[in-house]
């Protein structure tokens, strides 16, 4: 065939087609108005309402072989529109595409429907009336005029798609307090019919304003742009819509969706939504705001993998049932006790914990089956908890901490503490309010706490005092008010300490409390060495920023500890005592003891006293007590001769009983401030001996050369001493010894002011074994004055006759003036 013939045939076909189209267009426009009025008339005869349109359009061969009919400014109103004023439908352009082949068979089959720019508003009022009644046939219609399902199937049986362009849809069920509102921005529903089952593929963009199945409980998908890619089936017989696994994209998060809608009068919507790695904040935005706000109050908002199951009644005034299973990714949580890092949790939430009760906040429950993390980033944490009643959340929690102590050194200042070894195990159970757990006004937990703690072979060093604690074991129980020390055993140097007791006010410090901490303990040790006290240094600096160092310093500043001390043996430098019992009180600023009794110096020793003002540059020491039947040599030895060298434990023996009071200032290194010393001592010395005492031996060389002053034995001696600064003033006392009787009084000084007056009755010159001889100062006396001259005691002697002695009573006539 030649090129010219081919061209001629093509041109002929185009011409014929043009004539056909032209003819059709001519026919369409010729009968346009008649068709428009026919369509409106037929539609209005088959509805229980009123359908109107402003204009009618016709387009042949639209989207293939077929015709498109368009109605413009379409309004659909039910018969009660004048009362409720809610149009069921307003569409600016309603387009129907009709299959051309069906027209040649004198049939009307719709291939597609498209709605552009408009609103669809479904209303159900308080009485249950719905504007969907517009689709109910009129009672006045004859049977012949009523809609024939078979005829309807012929019309829409080959429908392929329905599209929506910027169409608002709303369902307002006033009777059930429900509201669903969305905008189909560009949405197409691809349709395939199999008998009574419609296969649907819904794709496009939808903006959800809200889905409120109960407006009082809040709405799902509030103000959320979404993209839909959904596969569904709809049964026209059962009014049941099934959603097969589909995808819904909300913002940047993609959800897998499946479920069903049962449009029967008692029907429900069942949805299952899954998501991978969505941030909890965005996930909560999908569920009702009130429920989301309740969950948000817990401040646990990690990235999660979640499955949400929803059971929502479509036409009943009930709350939807929500069930959520989720697994978190690693996140950090700021708990009331401090930061918990690297948290991972598996949990389940439902708002219908009791199936016999309706879904509600009060019937909600969150179960965290397994939660792990590191408290403060160092202490391994395992816990299980349940939260119920989201109206006023109630928490039940169990958990434990387990840690190798050296791993916690980063929480301490290395210049103060070092954990050397050991393990710590803490288990606990809490039931009570969740928000808040701790009441700052009452300084108490808002619930019940029970737990136990153990230390196993712990050891640590406290550097400021050069103290090492080793072999530390403990069994501790605690509740919201008290810590009960079943036992706390540890070694400090050679001391083996055993402690039991109770501490109150300690646990609130985990929640940043600053109130008093009170301890009541019993301390036992077989052998307590106190030499470490000399290494005492200043307490922890408040400027330290390490967590536990600050916490210990804070607790120490508020700690008041009362202890019953029992020790088989106590020793400090040269001091030793046995069977020590008494009460001791510790605080940051003071140490006090009360009625501490012991066996010491070969006798019984009881003392009450303490050291105060640790927070000041100068401390205060005070004491009162008594010693009964003690070995005076041991007393002087234990107290290192009271800091003087004139008379020492090598010179004395005998039994001494005393009552004393004493006070003094101390330096920060616990040295006495001599000028501040004050005291009063009443003593009785029996069976005493003074051996190798140089001042007495000097008297022997001059006056009593034939007597043995190397070993001088005394009868009972009683006197009272008053300490003022560095001077010890004593009243004149009579001393009856194995070598002579003398009277002594005056001032003994710990510096250079010693001034003692010794008077020896000359009746001593006659040696007699007659105990009936009474020596006194009424006769002639040898007067010896002991004066401190340049740090050395000098003796001055003078005979004193009675007459002179009487004049000596006057200061101006003293023989030493």
Tell me the residue ranges of DSSP E strands in 544-651: 559-572, 575-587, 591-600, 603-612, 619-631
Q: Is the pLDDT of residue 755 over 70?
A: yes
Judging by DSSP bridges, how do beta strands 528-529 and 559-572 pair with one another? parallel
**Of residues 716 and 421, more confidently modeled:** 421
CA atoms within 13 A on the CB side of 255: 25
Q: Is the pLDDT of residue 676 over 70?
A: yes
What pLDDT digit, counting tens, does each position of 377-391 carry? 888 889 999 999 888
pLDDT of residue 163: 92
CA distance 558 to 512: 13
Percent of the chain with pLDDT over 70: 78
Map 754-808 to HEC letters: CEEEEEEEHHHHCCCCCCCCCCCCCCCEEEEEEEEECCEEEEEEEEECHHHHHHH
Q: Tokens for 759, please give them.
A: 């008077």
pLDDT of residue 291: 63
Q: Is the pLDDT of residue 806 over 50?
A: no
Angle of helix 3-30 relative to helix 32-45, nearest 10 degrees?
A: 50
pLDDT of residue 513: 77
Helix (H, G, I), strand (E, B) or coil at 27: helix
In a domain, 636, yes or no: no
Domain count, the chain: 2
Confidence of residue 244 (pLDDT cuts 50, 70, 90): very high
In a domain, 125, yes or no: yes
Element (H, E) at 268: strand 268-279
DSSP 65: S
Confidence of residue 647 (pLDDT cuts 50, 70, 90): confident
pLDDT of residue 473: 95
Per-residue burial over 497-519, b = 16 or more CB atoms within 10 Å of its CB, e = otherwise = bebbbbbebbbbbebebeeebbb
pLDDT of residue 566: 92
Q: Tokens for 413, please give them.
A: 């200042």
Q: Is the pLDDT of residue 152 over 70?
A: no
* 611 phi and psi angles, rounded to 5 deg: -125, 130
pLDDT of residue 153: 62
Mean pLDDT to the nearest integer, 237-258: 87
Positive or negative, the CA dihedral 311, 314, 318, 319 is: positive
CA distance 326 to 306: 4
In a domain, 759, yes or no: yes
In a domain, 393, yes or no: no
In a domain, 783, yes or no: yes
Residues 6 or more apart whose Cβ sits within 8 Å of residue 166 = 116, 117, 118, 183, 184, 185, 186
Long-range pairs for 564-569: beta carbons < 8 A, 24 or more residues apart: 564/521, 564/522, 564/523, 565/523, 565/524, 565/596, 566/522, 566/523, 566/524, 566/525, 567/524, 567/525, 567/526, 567/527, 567/528, 568/525, 568/526, 568/527, 569/526, 569/527, 569/528
Range of the structural domain that residue 792 is part of = 692-817
Helix (H, G, I), strand (E, B) or coil at 497: strand
Helix (H, G, I), strand (E, B) or coil at 153: helix
- Radius of gyration for the alpha carbons in the chain, expressed in angstroms and rounded: 52
What pLDDT digit, counting tens, does each position of 699-713 carry? 666 666 667 777 778
pLDDT of residue 288: 65
DSSP 119: E
Confidence of residue 815 (pLDDT cuts 50, 70, 90): very low
Confidence of residue 20 (pLDDT cuts 50, 70, 90): very low
CA distance 304 to 366: 15
Element (H, E) at 417: strand 417-433
Q: Is the pLDDT of residue 451 over 60?
A: yes
CA distance 334 to 341: 8
- Residues paired with residue 186 on neighbouring β-strands, in sequence order: 165, 205
Mean pLDDT to the nearest integer, 131-152: 59
Q: Is the pLDDT of residue 759 over 50?
A: yes
**Of residues 531 and 399, more confidently modeled:** 399
pLDDT of residue 745: 84
In a domain, 270, yes or no: no
Longest dimension (CA), the chain: 180
- Residue 436 preceded by cis peptide, ω within 30: yes
In a domain, 56, yes or no: yes
In a domain, 196, yes or no: no
Mean pLDDT of the chain: 79
Q: Is the pLDDT of residue 314 over 90?
A: no
pLDDT of residue 144: 41
CA distance 385 to 375: 16
pTM of the shown model? 0.67
Q: Contact, 755 vs 744, CB < 8 A?
A: no
Domain boundary among 123, 155, 175: 175
Other Cβ atoms within 10 Å of 172 Cβ, number:
19
Tokens 């194995």 belong to which residue? 738
Domain boundary among 160, 175, 190: 175
Domain boundary among 153, 175, 197: 175
Q: Tokens for 475, please give them.
A: 């069994």
């Amino acid at each position: 065939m030649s090129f010219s013939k081919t061209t001629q045939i093509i041109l002929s076909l185009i011409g014929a087609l043009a004539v056909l189209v032209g003819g059709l267009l001519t026919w369409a426009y010729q009968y346009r108005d008649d068709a428009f009025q026919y369509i409106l008339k037929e539609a209005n005869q088959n509805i229980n309402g009123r359908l109107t349109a402003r204009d009618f359009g016709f387009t042949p061969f639209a989207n293939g072989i077929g015709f498109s009919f368009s109605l413009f400014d379409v309004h659909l109103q039910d018969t009660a529109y004048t009362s409720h004023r809610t149009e069921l439908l307003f569409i600016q352009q309603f387009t129907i595409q009709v299959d051309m082949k069906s027209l040649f068979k004198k049939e009307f089959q719709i291939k597609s429907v498209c709605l552009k720019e408009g609103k669809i508003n479904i209303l159900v009022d308080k009485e249950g009336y719905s504007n969907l009644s517009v689709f109910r046939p009129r009672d006045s219609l004859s049977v012949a005029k009523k809609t024939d399902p078979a005829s309807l199937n012929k019309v829409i049986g080959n429908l392929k798609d329905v599209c929506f362009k910027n169409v608002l849809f709303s369902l307002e069920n006033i009777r059930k307090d429900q509201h669903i509102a969305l905008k189909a921005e560009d949405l197409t529903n691809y349709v395939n019919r199999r008998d009574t089952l419609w296969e649907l593929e819904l794709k496009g963009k939808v903006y959800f304003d809200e889905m409120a199945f109960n407006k009082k409980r809040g709405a799902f998908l509030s103000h959320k742009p979404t993209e839909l890619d959904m596969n569904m089936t709809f049964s026209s017989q059962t009014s049941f819509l099934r959603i097969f696994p589909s995808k819904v994209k909300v913002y940047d998060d993609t959800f897998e969706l499946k479920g069903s809608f049962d449009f029967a009068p008692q029907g429900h919507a069942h949805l299952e939504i899954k998501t991978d790695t969505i941030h909890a904040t965005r996930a909560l935005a999908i569920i009702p705001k009130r429920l989301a706000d309740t969950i948000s109050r817990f401040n646990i908002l990690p990235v999660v993998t979640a499955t949400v199951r929803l059971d929502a009644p479509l036409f009943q005034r009930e709350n939807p049932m929500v069930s959520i299973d989720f697994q978190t990714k690693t996140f950090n949580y700021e708990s009331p006790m401090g930061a918990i890092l690297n948290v991972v949790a598996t949990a389940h939430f439902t708002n219908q914990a009791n199936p016999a009760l309706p879904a509600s906040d009060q019937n909600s429950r969150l179960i965290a089956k397994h939660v792990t993390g590191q408290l403060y980033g160092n202490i391994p944490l395992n816990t299980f908890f349940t939260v119920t009643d989201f109206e006023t959340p109630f928490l039940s929690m169990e958990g434990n901490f387990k840690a190798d102590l050296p791993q916690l050194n980063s929480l301490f200042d290395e210049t103060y503490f070092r954990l050397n070894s050991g393990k710590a195990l803490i288990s606990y159970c809490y039931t009570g309010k969740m928000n808040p757990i701790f009441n700052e006004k009452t300084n108490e937990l808002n619930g019940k706490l029970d737990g136990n703690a153990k230390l196993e072979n712990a050891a640590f060093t406290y550097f400021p005092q050069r103290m090492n604690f080793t072999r530390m074991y403990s069994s501790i129980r605690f509740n919201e008010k008290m810590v009960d020390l079943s036992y706390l055993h540890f070694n400090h140097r050679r001391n083996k300490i055993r402690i039991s007791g109770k501490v109150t006010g300690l646990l609130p410090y985990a929640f940043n409390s600053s109130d008093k901490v009170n301890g009541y303990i019993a301390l036992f040790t077989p052998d307590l060495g106190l030499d470490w006290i000399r290494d005492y240094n200043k307490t922890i600096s408040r400027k330290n920023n390490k967590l536990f160092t600050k916490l210990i310093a804070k607790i120490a500043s508020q700690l008041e500890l009362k202890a019953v001390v029992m020790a088989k043996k106590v020793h400090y430098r040269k001091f030793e005592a046995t069977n020590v019992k008494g009460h001791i009180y510790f605080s940051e600023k003071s140490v006090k003891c009360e009625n501490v009794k012991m066996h010491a110096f070969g006798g019984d020793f009881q003392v009450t006293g303490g050291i105060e003002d640790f927070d000041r540059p100068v401390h205060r020491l005070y004491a009162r007590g008594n010693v009964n039947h003690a070995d005076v040599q041991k007393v002087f030895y234990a107290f290192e001769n009271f800091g003087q060298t004139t008379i020492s434990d090598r010179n004395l023996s005998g039994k001494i009983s005393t009552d004393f009071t004493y006070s003094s200032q101390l330096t920060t290194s616990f040295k006495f401030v001599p000028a501040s010393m004050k005291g009063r001592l009443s003593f009785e010395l029996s069976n005493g001996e003074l051996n190798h005492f140089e001042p007495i031996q000097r008297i022997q060389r001059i006056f009593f050369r034939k007597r043995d002053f190397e070993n001088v034995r005394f009868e009972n001696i009683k006197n009272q001493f008053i300490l003022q600064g560095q001077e010890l003033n004593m009243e004149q006392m009579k001393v009856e010894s194995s070598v002579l009787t003398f009277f002594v009084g005056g001032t003994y000084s710990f510096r250079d002011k010693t001034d003692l007056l010794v008077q020896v009755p000359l009746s001593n010159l006659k040696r007699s074994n007659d105990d009936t001889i009474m020596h006194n100062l009424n006769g002639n006396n040898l007067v010896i004055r002991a004066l401190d001259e340049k740090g050395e005691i000098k003796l001055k002697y003078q005979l004193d006759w009675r007459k002179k002695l009487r004049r000596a009573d006057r200061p101006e006539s003293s023989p030493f003036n």
